[in-house]
Amino acid sequence: MFAEGQFVLGTFASNCSGGMSVTKVPERWVNSWDNNLKLARLLDDAGIDFMLPIARWIGYGGETNFHGGVLETMTWAAGLLASTQNINVFATIHTAANHPAVVAKQIATIDQISRGRIGLNIVAGWNEPEYKALGLDLPAGHEERYAYAQEWFDVIKALWSCTETFDWDGAFFKLKGILGDPRPSRKVPILNAAGSGEGRAFAVKNADFLFTPAIDLSRSGEEIAALKQQARDVGSKVGVLTFSHVVCRPTEKEAKDYLQHFGQDNADWAAVDNLVRLQFAHAHSFPHDLLALIRDRMAAGHGGFPLVGTPEQVAEGLIALHKAGFNGTTLSFVDYAEEFPYFRDTVLPMLESAGIRRAVTKAAKAA
């Protein structure tokens, strides 16, 4: 994850029913353990850098109840890391639903299982129906959400660094005689998706990677430069990642026809509208002035940057993201395990030729 000069690639949401496509087509992603394990091994062998899950407790309704079925992310990550060799896997954790002392020990344990390949994606909270489902109250203001998240992560950092028992007397946590043992063997990659001012201040201070949508690349360049400067201003460094949805076919017509088929003609529009409504009401992950314009993208790939066309066109889109200043992107497919091999065989070599990805050697695969 920290390799210099590498445009990092990962997958997103394969632990969730439907993946990132709010569609009714029968071949939509089935998030079974067997499918996730198959995908992880394909990605690992191809040199893909990471897998990133979404933590969810209730779905978005509609005919498919999009994201109604979700594999829990910490156990999902542990299982995948025990079954792979090189790929990084993140656990996505909501601060309000998980005690920091428990999370610190879980991550340290998986660090041993994976020999240092676990990452932590911190979510400060936004989805009010999920808070209600868990018997929690969603704080109305971002200030309180991120104040809580900051102390939550400060506790984790203390548990990962202190070698003697300590007390913690904070605004949200009161801990007595606690010690983190074991502790991670190396730096754990921290990821955070943020759109609000408070969220981005938290991300540039605490995260190694800030996750943000790429809707209009003409404004992404300025946004990324500002985020990296904001990080430098607080003595930090942050990489900026985005998320993309891939429809890669031998011809542009085949790709566009399939996008129309699953992302328009067979979209689960009731679930899409529930998703958009909740984003408007409680989250700042997407710029609100653009959210209404990307309803179609929400159906096709949860609002991700569209990479639709031939292998050459998909590679050009990824190179454009790199030129805009992104340090990497996640990828999603209607059926990850079925579609990724074509992407691997056709697009990855073009990215290597363009100099934004390194070729995977046999030695690296066996490492």
DSSP secondary structure code for residue 72 in this structure = -
pTM of the model: 0.94
pLDDT at 305 over 50: yes
Phi-psi region of 302 (alpha: psi -120 to 50; beta: other; left: phi over 0): left
Residue 216: pLDDT band (50, 70, 90) is: confident
Among candidates 303, 214, 341, 313, which has minimal Cα distance to 255?
313
The pLDDT of residue 365 is 53
Q: Number of helices and strands (H, E) in the chain? A: 14, 11
- pLDDT-derived band at 1, boundaries 50, 70, 90: confident
Give the Å distances, CA to CA, from 351 to 9, 31, 306, 346, 360: 11, 28, 17, 10, 12
Q: What is the pLDDT of residue 141?
A: 76
> In this predicted structure, what is the pLDDT of residue 172?
96
Residue type (1 letter), 6: Q
Percent of the chain scoring above 70 in pLDDT: 94
What is the per-residue pLDDT for 287? 58
Between 33 and 136, whose confidence is greater?
33
Name the helix (H) or strand (E) containing 79.
helix 73-82
Query: Rg of the chain over CA atoms, in angstroms?
Result: 20
Question: Is 125 or 262 the better-scoring residue by pLDDT?
Answer: 262
Q: What is the Cβ-side half-sphere exposure of residue 142, based on CA atoms within 13 angstroms? A: 15
Per-residue pLDDT tens for 81-95?
999 999 999 999 999
Tell me the per-residue pLDDT of 142-171, one tens digit each, with 9 for 90 and over.
789 999 999 999 999 999 999 999 999 999
User: What is the reported pLDDT for 139?
Assistant: 79
Q: What average pLDDT does the chain have?
A: 93
Burial of 57 (0-12, 13-18, 19+ CB in 10 A): middle
- Predicted confidence band at 289 (pLDDT cuts at 50, 70, 90)? low
Of the listed ranges 93-102, 191-200, 335-344, 347-356, the one predicted with least confidence: 191-200
Residue (of 67, 60, 62) closest to 278 by Cα position: 60
pLDDT confidence tier of residue 64, bands split at 50, 70 and 90: very high
Q: Which residue has the higher pLDDT, 367 or 219?
A: 219
**Strands, E, within the chain: which ranges?**
8-12, 50-52, 88-94, 118-123, 166-169, 174-178, 190-193, 209-211, 239-248, 305-309, 328-332
Q: Residues 355-366: pLDDT tens digits?
A: 999 987 644 555
